[in-house]
Amino acid sequence: MFEQLINWFPEWARPFIMPMITIGIVLQVNLGVCSYLILLERKLSAWMQDRIGPNRVGPWGLLQPVADMLKLLLKEDVIPGHVNKFLYVLAPGISVFTTMLAFAVVPFGPVPRNLSATDGQFPYIIAPGVDLGLVFIFAVTSLAVYGIILGGWASNNKYSALGAMRASAQVVSYEIPLGMSVVGLALLTGSMSIEKILLHQVDAGILGWNIWFQPLACVIFFAAAMAEAQRLPFDLSECEQELVGGWHTEYSAMKWGLFFLGEYTHVITISFLTSILFFGGWHLPWIAEPDSQYLGSTLVKVLVLLTKSFAFIIVIQMLRWTIPRFRFDQLMGLAWKVLIPLATLNVVCVMIVKQFHLNEWWLLPMSAGLFLGAGLIGTQSSRPFARKTLEPVAEAHGHHAHAH
C-alpha cells in the first residue's frame, strides 16, 4: 500500500514513515471527532430533555463545532494575576498529552499479523507490538491526573483546589479496580497486549468474545474508566453545581478547550478499549470474520470497530444525562467496598478456572453469582444511616438542655 512512498526515503528514515502517517491520521481524526462529539453530546442532552439543541450554525447546527473552535481560538486568553503561571500553562498540556499518548497502543482497525514497520502495510495502530499494552495505558492515564491537580492548585482558587483534591483521591482509588478488572482478560488470553486480546477473541468467533466470560469485569472496567475520565456520575472534581467549574474554574479560551479535548479523547479511548477488550473489536459474525477477504473487507472491519466504539460513546453520553452525581463518600465506598473486592474475586474465579482446566463457560455463572451476591450483601448492609450516626449527638444536646 505504501511501499513506494517508504522506498523513496533513505534507509534510516524508513521505520519512521508509517508511524508518522498513522500518528497524523489519528491526531487529525481525533481532533475532528472530539469537536463533533461535543456537538453530539449537546444534541443528545437536548433530545433527552425535550429541547432542540444547537441549531443555528449551519444545517441542523452541524457547523457549531467550527464556530466553537473559532470562538475558543479567538477569545482573549486570560491568565489571572494570582496564578502560578508556569504550572497554570503546563496543566492543559499535560492533560492532552497523556490522553493522546494513551491512544498509541489502541488498535483502530484490523491490525495485520506479522507487521513490520517497513513493509508498507497500514498498521491501524500507532505503536504495534507493545507487549504491555494495557499496563501502558494505565500508566499513561494515571499521569493524566497531574493536569487536573496542577491546574487546580496553580489556579490559586478554592473551588479549583477542592476540585483538584477530589480528583486526586478519586483517580488514585479507581485505578485499582480499573487494573484489576482486566487481569482476568490477561489470564484468559495469556497476554497483556491489546492486539493479542483482540486476536484471541476474533479467532474464537462471537462465542469467544470476552463479554461472555467476563461480564462483571466489563461493568467494573466501564465504571472505573468513566471515573478515571471524570465523567458524570463521577465528575465530582468539576461539578458545576457546587464548585463552579472545579479545577478549570480559572481557565478560559483554548486552555479550557484543551482540557475538554483531553476529556473527550479519554472518552474515545475508553470506548475503543471496551469494544476491543470485551466485545470482539472489529469482529462481527459473517460480516467481518478474520478470513473474510471480499472487496473492502478491511474498511468494513474498521467500520464495525468504529460503530461499536460509537455505541459506547453514546452510552457514556446518555449516562451523563441520566444518572445523578454520587456523593463523595458514596464514590469512595463504591470503589473500595464494591468494585475492588468484586474485581479481586473475579480474578480469583478466572484463576480457579485456569488452574483446574474447567470449561471457560463456568465464568459466566460465576460472574453472575458474584454480582448477585454483591446485591444481597448490599441489601443486608443498607441500614438507616442518618439515625445511627446522628442520634447520640441529638440526645447529648437534649441532655445539655435539661441540665440547664
Partner 1 sequence: MDWSKENGLLIIPLVLGCFAVCWLMPSTRQRPRILGGLAALAAILMMQAMLLPPAGDYVRSVLFFVFAAAAVISAGLMITDRNPVYAALWFALVTLAVCGLFLLNAAPFLSASTIIVYAGAIIVTFLFVIMLAQQSGTATSYDQQPIQPLMASVGGFILLGALLFTLQEWGHIDGTSTSEHAEPGQFIALPKEIEPNPLSQAPHDNPHEIGSLRVLGRSLFGDYLFSVEIAGTVLLIATIGAIAIAPRRSQGTL
Partner 2 sequence: MPINPKDIEWVEEPAMNFWESTYLPAVFDGLRTTGQHVADFHPVTEFYPEQKPNLPSHYRGVHRLNRDDKGRVKCVACMMCATACPARCIDIVAQDAPKDDPHWADRDKFPKSFVIDELKCIYCGMCEEACPVDSIELTNIFDLTGMTRQEMMFDKEKLLSVFDQTKDTVGNPIRTHKGKLGHASDFTDLHTLGPATTVRADDRSAKANSAGVIE
Q: Contact residues for partner 2 (CB under 8 A)?
A: 44, 46-52, 219, 315, 318-319, 321-323, 371-372, 374-376, 378-379, 382-387, 391, 394-395, 397-398, 400-401
Residue type, 268: I
Of the pair 303, 319, the CB lying nearest partner 2 is at 319
Binding site partner of 379, from partner 1, partner 2, none, Cβ cut-off 5-8 A by kind: partner 2
Cα dist from 58 to 30, 62, 75, 257, 326, whole Å: 22, 5, 21, 22, 37
Position 55 contacts partner 1 (CB under 8 A):
no
Q: Which of residues 92-131 bind partner 1 (CB under 8 A)?
A: 130-131
Residue 288, strand partner residues: 284
Position 329 contacts partner 1 (CB under 8 A):
yes
- One residue of 22, 35, 99, 155 binding partner 1 per CB under 8 A: 155
Position 341 contacts partner 1 (CB under 8 A):
no
Binding site partner of 376, from partner 1, partner 2, none, Cβ cut-off 5-8 A by kind: partner 2
- One residue of 26, 38, 101, 149 binding partner 1 per CB under 8 A: 149
Distance CA 157, CA 161 (A): 6
Using the contact rule CB under 8 A, the part of the chain among 77-85, 252-260, 277-285, 348-356 near partner 1 is 77-85
**Helix segments in 75-157, DSSP class H:** 85-102, 133-154
**Cα dihedral sign, 80-86-87-92:** positive
Cα dist from 377 to 220, 371, 373, 381, 382, whole Å: 17, 10, 6, 6, 8
Q: Take residue 18 and report the three cell numbers written for it.
A: 508509517
Q: Take residue 179 and report the three cell numbers written for it.
A: 487494573
Binding mask 183-222 for partner 1 (x = CB under 8 A): --------xx------------------------------
Of the pair 243, 316, the CB lying nearest partner 2 is at 316
**In whole angstroms, how close is the CB of 226 to partner 2 at the nearest point?**
12
**Among 177, 184, 263, CA closest to 222:** 177
Q: Which residue has the cell 497500514?
A: 122
Distance CA 112, CA 114 (A): 6
Position 350 contacts partner 1 (CB under 8 A):
no
Phi, psi of 313, rounded to the nearest 5 degrees? -60, -40
Of the pair 82, 400, the CB lying nearest partner 1 is at 82
What is the residue-wise DSSP string for 251-280? --HHHHHHHHHHHHHHHHHHHHHHHHHHS-
Of the pair 251, 279, the CB lying nearest partner 1 is at 251
Judged by the rule CB under 8 A, the positions of this chain that interact with partner 1 are 82-84, 87, 130-132, 135-136, 138-140, 142-143, 145-146, 149-150, 152-156, 158, 161, 164-165, 168-169, 171-172, 175, 179, 191-192, 329, 388-389, 393
